[in-house]
Structure 1
């Protein structure tokens, strides 16, 4: 064997690389900027893994590509001079003046687009690294410029682009600094409050006592100076689109301190609670989603820098754009371009026009951002351009589409599902679902509802605009169905190809990632579900008058739901599966029990479809009332199923959102899955036989508790959940209503005990329903954040006669 393996690269390849490495790196950097400014906003409204991965790669490569290009230019400038300082390379493709002119564009790219400054919350903590990077990269650009001197042709446009690049890079660094948690906390802290002078008062008290004067201290609460603001009653009717943004910005400024665990006064709690108690659930949802959108803009974009005090951000932004425009004018009219190659001139114009286009897009997004709309002070007497904003806000309003369930029931229930277009969504509008029995059987993903078809929504919108909806509705529905039928095999085929090519590799290296891709389904957000959640939390807030009560309510894990709905014997049997076990165990127990109760009841509703009245003589007297009861039971059953699968998804795939309460949830989940797989294999069950699996689990005798037989080495709770399901099936009425209330409390418990920074981190990944729980609970005064009483205590010394 030879001692070495000879490697040879063709001279033609080297020549192409030498000629195009700088140009390719610069164009690639510009392309990444275009990709980020257009795609980065979608991460707050799209939950897809591939979208997030694409943005992540682009975010990381953007800085790397710009730094690499600056290094190539600097190295090229150094190699153009010999030891005596004379130019050693006069090849036309390496014009030093033009390379020096390109370098500031890379500084502009390092500043990044307005739509993304940080990919994750932790990136904000690296603001000091970016500040040092600003110094080093600016120094490298200045070094390249000095190396090109005397630069008689391009030194003015180069300096103008250097100013624009410094402004953009400085904006990004300052945005990261302001969004870092320490600075974020400092910006929320008020002036130090030492309170009344206790030492002076006690000196006077002690002096009078020593002189044997009959002295006592009388104290009264000092009225809050800011209480006047809460004396104005909030609006009681439906909110207009502009008012939604105003109220959301108002409460965002008040409650953004939740992110850094600050405490609030009871005045702030009472004002917020009074406002949300008067709201319709849909209006409350609109306010909260805009409020979370403000939080996203503050932590992950340049919005706070651009709206910096005294319009400094606007001035700097237009100054940077003016520099680029002036550079384009000088280069077009004044610069002698005969010494440059045609392709280099084209690249230069591409960089200039690209920089202008990016700034114009950024300004357009800034003008129509919620932060700018919130600056319209008076909704009753808006400025002349307000109608444009109103039309835009109509598009941003949540769209609801009435749809039926995937499974056919005898009553054909209809639910309003969110159908807001992706480009104007403020969050994903979806709920992730993971199911233990389906996962163990390796079945297909299922959902209660399908997302509304975009083709159908588009056709219906056009027909309504043309006032032809009534005439051609059936035709449009048929066309949309045909399109869906044609597209569905294509999607499934691409999925099979991907799985065949990469599935085994990803499963080996990233099992959890592939499990999430294969077994986690997305459930469209239902307006009925939100109304149910809102009313439950609103009812609880009626009792939260003291900090102790609010803390006790937010720490409830189902006992409040069982208090009024169950009799004492039933309540005691169910409570031991809630408060007498760790939280993660109660999640698994109630998740499996929900499935064991869900599939038999669901199948019964489907079998009875041909006989809506149930075939009983007594029911014929009032068939409408019975149907209403069955519809209500079906609705509560779907609520329970949705929240059950969602909480298992959080427990397994989002452990950071459950880290404060989950315990050994992942171990317990795996042990339970192992026992379930063994049981299903023994019974010869196949994928998608969920109903049969539930029936066989319920047939297992559980007269003796599993732990008494198996011990506690295995953390499986499979047959403990069977015992719970049997207890639930003994309930004659309101079973599903009680279970849905229990699930709301379980989600509320996790929301209030999850780290606030985790909620803030998740708004950049499509948003989670649990974050809406968290913020709504804070607005209703449920939690531990309200610990400041009204005003100070005013103490007086009273000397008796």
Structure 2
């Protein structure tokens, strides 16, 4: 829904008022502006408090609340500004009319939005020209209302600083939207690696500063630049010296910083000019509140209008204070304190980082993996010369289970489930087979790879169903999903499944001997082939003497390969979209791969150096660089 659409809803609602009795219409005309002003303020409060939380949670109610508030905020403020212009009527002698005009710059502040959100999605950044036009028209409308109601009263003069604050805030939003658009998004030059090495930093400070350095590289990747400098090599050495947990934490910081640049006013708020502008706007709001309380005769105006005015003033100050409060506990502030490298900076850094509030406000993503299980769903009532050129990198990124099977001498007999079929069909085959084998070995002890395989399996199906744009483009994805769903539900219907027990459903499928006799589509026998794959995996233990640990290590590595394959095929813009919905593990993996040189945006020379160094590191000795479990991705 666009701003125009939401505006039409309001206009339709106003017309609907005409069907009510005359006394109701009269009452509404009297209170319409006042109600709209309060609603506009409430929407700003909601956005300030909840907009920043969407990057660290997948809660649907928060996403819906922010989405609705973001859509309504501009429309309500715009309509309210129009009502102010029509209600004032250019009558400068009427005190109440002057007070209504005094509300207009506050609506400009509301149109500017809070620092915590400038865009709901990346597409909003591309519409910055529309916001620029809106900026011009709304400022002209507010200024016109101000001029037509000009008088020598104190109220008129204290309107000026609020008006200036509104223009500043609205201008900031438009500039930030433009800066985050695809045509103007620019990555700054990366600082030399020697600067990072020479800085005498404490462990916590070095961790954050390293993440900020890697973030500079990430921004280059996001703009599609081919990295041809030593920064790519150095970023690899930062990552390879970390444990898996530390590496993913660095990536969390990077993605959090990217979210701030794309969806918030971080580019302005955490700069010297931005700090000065916030001092101006905050000082203006405080001084106007003091003057209004001391120099304005409140008895001249309606009590309800005075109360609304006080609410607007206090609300403007409270929103500024809350924005400043959250800014103090942000990664950007911590980076500024590290840059100071003075006793005061170190003291403030330690004080803030040790606060419990810092751990609350610095949460950077949801830390969760969406899960979707097909069988559980269907069984319920819902029914170059050096050898390391770009060609090799493409081959490494193209592996989706075949390397693991080849390493364990299973490729020839199981390649029909990986490289012989397209990715979407292979994902479904392995998802069902993994699920069947998982419930068969559910009571086995100390099989961590078993649980991890199930988690990755359900996560990848969740991505395939709910986030298909994060996967490689496919023509038959919908066909495979629909046909497999129909096959599974038909099987349970024909098999006479009486209970909703997950184990009963899987036992019915796994031990069904006459599976071939079931009526299925001949176009995509995913269920039949998945059953065949599950039986073959089980035979590795019963016939070839594999241990359960060996079996599940292999299955887990197959899923990691599929995860890496999908992550490497997704556009950066699609990953950026998911940052506003709590983030995805797939995005973290994609960025981590880039830092390790597993990206086609890394210049071949840099890739050669990185790969050569990887082969010399003891931890990687004797292991292929194509091995998805080479020490970074946790097993």
TM-score range, shorter chain: 0.7 to 0.9
Hey, what's the Cα distance between the residues in 2 that align with 1:397 and 1:152? 45
- Determine which of 28, 42, 47 is the counterpart of 1:31: 42
Deviation at 1:129, TM superposition (A): 0.5
1:487-502 → structure 2 map (5 Å cutoff): none
Distance 1:674 1:313, change over 3 A: same
Please say if residues 669 and 716 of structure 1, whose CA atoms lie closer than 8 Å, have aligned partners that are also in contact. Answer: no
Q: Deviations over 1:330-381 (max 9, x none)?
A: 22222333311222112111111110111111112222211121123369x5
Hey, what's the Cα distance between the residues in 2 that align with 1:661 and 1:774? 17
Give the secondary-structure state (helix, strand or coil) at the position aligned to 1:375: helix
Q: Which residue of 1 aligns with 2:6?
A: none
Deviation at 1:140, TM superposition (A): 0.7
Distance 1:227 1:9, change over 3 A: closer
- Determine which of 376, 383, 400 is the counterpart of 1:557: 400
Q: Which residue of 1 aligns with 2:8?
A: none
Q: Which runs of 4+ in 1 moved over 6 A?
A: 225-228, 702-706
Q: Which residue of 2 aligns with 1:723?
A: 532
Deviation at 1:661, TM superposition (A): 3.6
Q: Which residue of 2 aligns with 1:329?
A: 290
**Unpaired stretches in structure 1, ≥5 consecutive residues:** 1-5, 191-224, 399-419, 444-514, 520-542, 606-629, 791-801
Q: Which residue of 1 aligns with 2:555?
A: 739
Give the secondary-structure state (helix, strand or coil) at the position aligned to 1:553: helix
Hey, what's the Cα distance between the residues in 1 that align with 2:387 and 2:496? 52
Q: Please say which of residues 108-117 and 682-691 is displaced more in the overlay.
A: 682-691
Please say if residues 119 and 263 of structure 2, whose CA atoms lie closer than 8 Å, have aligned partners that are also in contact. Answer: yes
Q: Which residue of 2 aligns with 1:179?
A: 180
Please say if residues 434 and 457 of structure 2, whose CA atoms lie closer than 8 Å, have aligned partners that are also in contact. Answer: yes
- Determine which of 557, 569, 574 is the counterpart of 1:758: 574
- Determine which of 66, 72, 77 is the counterpart of 1:61: 72
Hey, what's the Cα distance between the residues in 2 that align with 1:147 and 1:651? 58
TM-score by length of 2: 0.85
Please say if residues 338 and 346 of structure 2, whose CA atoms lie closer than 8 Å, have aligned partners that are also in contact. Answer: no
Hey, what's the Cα distance between the residues in 2 that align with 1:391 and 1:282? 25
How many residues in Structure 1 have an aligned counterpart in Structure 2? 582
Q: Deviations over 1:453-511 (max 9, x none)?
A: xxxxxxxxxxxxxxxxxxxxxxxxxxxxxxxxxxxxxxxxxxxxxxxxxxxxxxxxxxx
Q: Please say which of residues 294-303 and 255-264 is displaced more in the overlay.
A: 255-264
Give the secondary-structure state (helix, strand or coil) at the position aligned to 1:338: helix
Distance 1:287 1:353, change over 3 A: same
Q: Deviations over 1:770-800 (max 9, x none)?
A: 011101111111121102647xxxxxxxxxx
Deviation at 1:63, TM superposition (A): 0.8
Distance 1:651 1:147, change over 3 A: same
Please say if residues 57 and 365 of structure 2, whose CA atoms lie closer than 8 Å, have aligned partners that are also in contact. Answer: yes
Tell whether 2:277 aligns with 1:437: no
Structure with greater strand percent: 1
Q: Which residue of 2 aligns with 1:426?
A: 364
Hey, what's the Cα distance between the residues in 1 that align with 2:145 and 2:277? 25
Q: Which residue of 2 aligns with 1:474?
A: none
Please say if residues 134 and 170 of structure 1, whose CA atoms lie closer than 8 Å, have aligned partners that are also in contact. Answer: yes
Q: Which residue of 2 aligns with 1:229?
A: 194
Distance 1:188 1:123, change over 3 A: same
Hey, what's the Cα distance between the residues in 2 that align with 1:317 and 1:229? 35
TM-score by length of 1: 0.68
Give the secondary-structure state (helix, strand or coil) at the position aligned to 2:225: coil
Q: Which residue of 2 aligns with 1:600?
A: 440
Hey, what's the Cα distance between the residues in 1 that align with 2:555 and 2:100? 68
Hey, what's the Cα distance between the residues in 2 that align with 1:575 and 1:63? 55
Q: Which residue of 1 aligns with 2:346?
A: 386
Please say if residues 544 and 550 of structure 1, whose CA atoms lie closer than 8 Å, have aligned partners that are also in contact. Answer: no
- Determine which of 240, 247, 253 is the counterpart of 2:203: 240
Q: Which residue of 1 aligns with 2:616?
A: none
Distance 1:786 1:171, change over 3 A: same
Distance 1:349 1:699, change over 3 A: same
Deviation at 1:258, TM superposition (A): 2.1
Q: Deviations over 1:236-264 (max 9, x none)?
A: xx983322221111110122122232211
Hey, what's the Cα distance between the residues in 2 that align with 1:428 and 1:686? 37
1:345-744 → structure 2 map (5 Å cutoff): 345-377=306-338, 382-394=342-354, 424-442=362-380, 545-564=388-407, 566-567=408-409, 570-602=410-442, 604-605=443-444, 630-631=445-446, 634-658=447-471, 660-701=472-513, 712-713=522-523, 715-732=524-541, 733=546, 734-744=550-560
Deviation at 1:737, TM superposition (A): 0.4
Please say if residues 583 and 663 of structure 1, whose CA atoms lie closer than 8 Å, have aligned partners that are also in contact. Answer: no
**What do you get for the CA RMSD once the two structures are aligned?**
3.0
Hey, what's the Cα distance between the residues in 2 that align with 1:182 and 1:189? 15
- Determine which of 244, 263, 273 is the counterpart of 2:236: 273
Hey, what's the Cα distance between the residues in 2 that align with 1:789 and 1:705? 57
Give the secondary-structure state (helix, strand or coil) at the position aligned to 1:430: coil
Hey, what's the Cα distance between the residues in 2 that align with 1:233 and 1:584? 48
Hey, what's the Cα distance between the residues in 1 that align with 2:153 and 2:65? 43
Q: Deviations over 1:155-190 (max 9, x none)?
A: 211111110000110111111011111111xx2387
Distance 1:58 1:763, change over 3 A: same
Distance 1:392 1:429, change over 3 A: farther
Deviation at 1:695, TM superposition (A): 2.6
Distance 1:754 1:344, change over 3 A: same
- Determine which of 192, 216, 238 is the counterpart of 1:253: 216
Give the secondary-structure state (helix, strand or coil) at the position aligned to 2:336: coil
- Determine which of 339, 342, 351 is the counterpart of 2:300: 339
Give the secondary-structure state (helix, strand or coil) at the position aligned to 1:265: coil
Q: Which residue of 2 aligns with 1:75?
A: 86
Distance 1:674 1:710, change over 3 A: closer
Give the secondary-structure state (helix, strand or coil) at the position aligned to 1:572: helix
